[in-house]
Amino acid sequence: MKKYVFIALIVLFWFNSFGQKKDDRPNILWLTCEDISPTLSMYGDSTAHTPNLDRLAKEGLVFDNVYAVVGVCAPSRSSIITGMYPTSIGTMHMRTALDIQSWGKRKYKKVGMGKDINGNPVPQYSAVIPEQVKCFSEYMRISGYYCTNNQKTDYQFAAPVTAWAENNTKADYTHAPGGMPWFAVYNHNVTHESQIWKRKNLPLTVSPDKVPLPSYYPDDSIVRRDVARNYSNIEALDKQIGEKIQKLKDLGLYDNTIIFFFSDHGGPLPRGKRLHYMSGLKVPFIVRIPEKYQKKYGLDPSKIENGHVKELISFVDLAPTLLSIAGYPVPDYMQGQAFMGPQKAKKERKYIFGTSDRFDEFTDRIRVVFDGRYLYVRNYYPERPLYKDIAYRKNIDMMNDLLRLHKLGRLNTEQNLWFRLYKTPEELYDCKVDPDNVHNIIDDPQYKDKIAELSKALDDFLAQTGDLGAISENQLVQNMWIGGVQPVTKKAVIKKEGRKIILTCPTRGASIGYIISDKDFTPDLNSGWEVYHEPIKVPKGKYLYVMTQRIGYKESDIVKKKF
């Protein structure tokens, strides 16, 4: 009998010990999508049937004022992963190179796809950002989160191996060690601009006759068909989102996971994507916080109106918000501010800032500020046309239709605005009465004070954050890659002190990734790397693999050592 009592006490001690060490932080799931505006029922547009997103919105919070910093993916994603404005770290030009998926492709062409503001061809490059700036997911990993990305990166620089525990099409939060909280990103491509033409022969699930059209579109069958395709793609997206949520429920993780849903920028259709107006910057954003986490991570109930949050939020705020939830101190250098969690900013944002520089073949420089109602636009090159004749988007039938109708003189004033040959130096729009941003009120004297306020806010923003768009992209590349040659991260130095192994890198700002293994093998560059942040122990007979990389630099060779 005593024997069984003793065993029971041992088991009880074991459970208590593990209970004390249990990590009670929430899992975090990002269900991201590409290229959609808030054209969903929770925002007042019920054209697409989206029962899964509707349910998520009903159980969660709908954020009415969330904005990308640029109306296109790569610069926008650079802001998300760093918590920095692209213009302040040199990631504002779309696109710098080929590092789009997973660990990326490391060969750069001498001539890229576009020209700088002076008309000179721009080479492909990986943006060398300030040495202190890291992917926020690296901090999440240091804090004890298992971080996975499935699959797109597209940060304007090659994602270091330290950014994600897994970074490929097989990345999955179910691979997280037991008891370890996880942060997982799943990107959904079905709503991307390219899917307007790649899926155009598939059956439409939304009738072209029933789609709403903004004032800047003519009403014809070609436009209606492509708009219907966009809504049909959103319905396909909803099914994919539903599958991800059902998986959480099946695994019993639904009430242990904070779910975020959002798009990387505004909608895919002409005069949406790449534009600095609401059509390009405003995104849908839903967050579901399980009840047990609402007190610690939720928002002030007084800020919520019927499940909707009115607070202004920029994409630079996502990184500090995730670190706030994870319990990792938000670095001082980050330009965003947390809107959830213990480190939530004491003051809400007063302004949203957006930028527009090179998009593929064409370069311009436009800066905007938005106060929740009024959008102020500053055009640095008003002599350049607003419309950019980008080859990629001319795969969309309605883009060619718009160009044809414009040439024939069959577009009305509002529909022709996009094709104007010159821009005014400044623009102002009242987004409450003019959500399509087609009535420029910059010359109306009654808005004199508002223009002065927003102009000063933009000046202050540019002075505080810096604006690398003030120099040509070629000069920017020369500053990053001296002599046009990518800098190389120096190899790690392995030093043993007693039973501990200390890793260092002579290159300032470099991150250090390592793998401890039983075998001699070639490491997978998309998974398995740990983030070095404190001395480690390597058991005798094990292999240690170490690789270093500063963002924008070429990664070091792998150093291998057997102990």
> Catalytic: which of 33, 73, 135, 505?
73
Tokens representing 62?
A: 């709908």
C-alpha 471, offset from chain centre: 25
Query: Reading across the β-sheet that carries 282-283, which strands appear in turn?
Result: 282-283, 66-67, 313-314
Could you give the CA distance from residue 92 to residue 127 in angstroms, rounded to a whole number?
10
Could you give the CA distance from residue 500 to residue 497 in angstroms, rounded to a whole number?
5
Could you give the CA distance from residue 38 to residue 41 in angstroms, rounded to a whole number?
9
**With helix as H, strand as E and coil as C, how does 420-460 read?**
CCCCCCEEEEECCCCCCCCCCCCCCHHHHHHHHHHHHHHHH
Q: Which residues contact 216 (CB under 8 A, 6 or more apart)?
A: 271, 414, 415, 417, 418, 436, 438
Could you give the CA distance from residue 74 to residue 158 in angstroms, rounded to a whole number?
12
Handedness of CA 182, 188, 43, 68 (dihedral sign): positive
What are the backbone angles phi and psi of residue 3, rounded to the nearest 5°? -60, -45
Between the alpha carbon of residue 541 and those of residues 113, 514, 515, 520, the distances in Å are 50, 16, 14, 11
Q: What is the DSSP letter of 522?
A: -
What Rg, from alpha-carbon coordinates, does the chain have? 25
Q: How far apart are the first and last CA of the chain?
A: 47
- Has 73 been annotated as catalytic? yes
Give me the long-range contacts of 433-438 (CB less than 8 A, separation at least 24): 435/278, 436/214, 436/215, 436/216, 436/278, 436/279, 437/277, 437/278, 437/279, 437/375, 438/215, 438/216, 438/414
Ranges of H-type helices in 205-317: 221-250, 278-281, 294-297
Q: What is the DSSP letter of 544?
A: E
Q: Active-site positions?
A: 73
